[in-house]
């Protein structure tokens, strides 16, 4: 139980380790104690240690059943819920996902419908990818999503660099559902068929030496300029000595900037130092975040956007509308889970989301 000694996957400064804890988890205020059934793996589960976000139970995404609630919780015992607890301002042990009991302690938690296609396994993979893509598209790029009640620019052409990453998959399906077109994506050639089935109009292999020229030509041929782009991988511009022109943000910007340098809107999942036009998207944005760049630019206009997107996702989850990632790998046990976390952090997943089945 939540007060017995149990093993968790803990993120130490040097990476994930197993740790036995016996802290009693007691929900207060709006919190809910849950039995974790699945936790979803993200690259950040390990990568965050390199930016000082460690010494806590690893993992963000999770789903499970509510066991106990604080007096102001929106949930009740027996509810099936999913969501994530953000990184800031602090991360007590009870917030991490890769453990058998946790406390839902943020506004980023949602109740699973009693009927429908969305199960606990799929739900545990959705929050980070979906909320990050939503922040990029409907907050930072200012695109509209009429079906979810989100105002903004209608029917825009869009480039998604890294369409087979989980954030890219979410962005593609949300943009399609929101009525934006044509949608240009980059991915390995083996993933083009799946991405077209999910809504991509044009696919390009990012490894082709002339990929920028190919995208520019396709944009010209489409007859509609592309002013919005989301780089869903942020590859090749973080390390000292990286050549920005060859990085994914450099290639993304070059692909859509032809003849309209200042007119484009660019968003990336990682910070881009070399191009001031880029904005950084966040899975969990909040008006009161202690991290200035994770605050909302316009809280009034933006407030509730993430909740509206998740409401739409819960209602429309299923083939032809929103699938999250169509390939979910389930791992069991601590060793398999640790190995899967390392694989994800090393960028070795391709069009795949990994869910840890609990108990660990
Ligand atoms: N800011 C935030 O709040 C936030 C939130 C979530 C994620 N992130 C960051 O966003 C990145 C992506 O996360 P994720 O979970 O979506 O990753 P992921 O699914 O594990 O990414 C793997 C995919 O990236 C694609 N890829 C790798 N290098 C590429 C390149 N140069 N060009 C195009 N595609 C490339 C691969 O596509 P192919 O298989 O087709 O080759 C692969 O499918 C990570 O760095 C993560 O830390 C940030």
Per-residue confidence in pLDDT tens, the chain, 360 aa? 667 899 999 999 999 999 999 999 999 999 999 999 999 999 999 999 998 889 999 999 999 999 999 999 999 999 999 999 988 767 999 999 999 999 999 989 999 999 888 999 999 999 999 999 999 999 999 999 999 999 999 999 999 999 999 999 999 999 999 999 999 999 999 999 999 999 999 999 999 999 999 999 999 999 999 999 999 999 998 888 889 999 999 999 999 988 777 789 999 999 999 999 999 999 988 777 777 777 776 666 666 898 999 999 999 999 889 999 999 999 999 999 999 999 999 999 999 999 999 999
Distance 347 CA to ligand 1 centre (A): 7
Say how far apart CA 164 and CA 58 lie, in whole Å: 24
Q: What is the DSSP letter of 229?
A: E
Distance between Cα 345 and ligand 1 center (Å): 10
Q: How far is CA 112 from CA 62, 119, 324, 327, 338, in A?
A: 12, 8, 15, 20, 27
142: left (phi over 0), alpha (psi -120 to 50) or beta: left
Give the number of the atom of ligand 1 that is nearest the alpha carbon of residue 47.
47
Q: What's the token pair of residue 107?
A: 């506004």
218 vs 227: CA distance, rounded Å: 14
Token pair in block for residue 176: 């399609």
Query: What is the position in ligand 1's atom list of the atom closest to the CA of 351?
Result: 43
The residues lining ligand 1, judged by C-beta closer than 6 Å to any ligand atom, are 42-44, 47, 128-129, 132, 161-162, 164-167, 186-188, 191, 206, 232-235, 248, 269-270, 281-283, 344, 347, 349-351
Query: Distance from the CA of 291 to the center of ligand 1, in angstroms?
Result: 23
Q: How far is CA 253 from CA 38, 143, 160, 247, 332, in A?
A: 37, 18, 11, 10, 40
The protein residue with its alpha carbon nearest to ligand 1, atom 46, reads 43
**Is 0.95 surpassed by the pTM of this model?**
yes
Of all protein residues, the one whose alpha carbon is nearest to atom 11 of ligand 1 is: 233
Of residues 135, 131, 122, the one with CA closest to residue 62:
122
* Cα gap 355→76, rounded to integer Å: 25
Domains of the chain: 6-125+327-357 (3.90.180.10), 129-302 (3.40.50.720)
């Amino acid at each position: 139980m939540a007060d017995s000694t149990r093993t968790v996957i803990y993120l130490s400064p040097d990476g994930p380790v197993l740790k036995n804890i016996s802290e009693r988890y007691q929900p207060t205020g709006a919190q809910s104690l849950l039995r974790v059934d699945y936790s979803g793996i993200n690259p950040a589960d390990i990568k965050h240690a390199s930016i000082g976000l460690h010494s806590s139970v690893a993992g963000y995404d999770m789903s499970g059943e509510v066991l106990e609630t604080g007096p102001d919780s929106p949930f009740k015992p027996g509810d099936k819920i999913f969501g994530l607890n953000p990184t800031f301002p602090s991360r007590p042990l009870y917030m991490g996902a890769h453990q058998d009991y946790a406390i839902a302690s943020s506004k980023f938690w949602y109740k699973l419908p009693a009927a429908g296609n969305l199960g606990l396994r799929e739900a545990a993979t959705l929050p980070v990818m979906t909320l990050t893509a939503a922040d990029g598209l409907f907050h930072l790029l200012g695109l509209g999503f009429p079906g979810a009640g989100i105002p903004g620019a209608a029917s825009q052409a869009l480039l998604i660099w890294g369409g087979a990453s989980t954030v890219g998959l979410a962005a593609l399906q949300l943009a399609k559902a929101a009525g934006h077109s044509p949608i240009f994506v980059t991915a390995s050639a083996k993933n083009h068929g799946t991405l077209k089935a999910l809504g991509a109009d044009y696919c390009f292999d990012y490894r082709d030496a002339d990929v920028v020229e190919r995208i520019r030509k396709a944009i010209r041929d489409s007859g509609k300029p592309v002013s919005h782009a989301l780089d869903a991988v942020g590859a090749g511009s973080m390390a000292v000595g990286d050549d920005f022109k060859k990085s994914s943000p450099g290639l993304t910007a070059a692909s859509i900037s032809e003849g309209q340098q200042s007119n484009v809107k660019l968003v990336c999942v990682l910070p881009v130092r070399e191009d001031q036009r880029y904005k950084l998207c966040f899975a969990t944005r909040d008006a009161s975040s202690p991290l200035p760049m994770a605050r909302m630019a316009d809280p009034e206009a933006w407030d509730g956007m993430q909740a509206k997107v998740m409401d739409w996702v819960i209602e429309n989850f299923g083939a032809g509308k929103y699938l999250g990632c169509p390939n979910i790998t389930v791992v069991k046990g601590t060793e398999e889970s640790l190995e899967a976390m390392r694989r994800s952090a090393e960028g070795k997943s391709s069009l795949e989301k990994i869910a840890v089945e609990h108990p660990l």
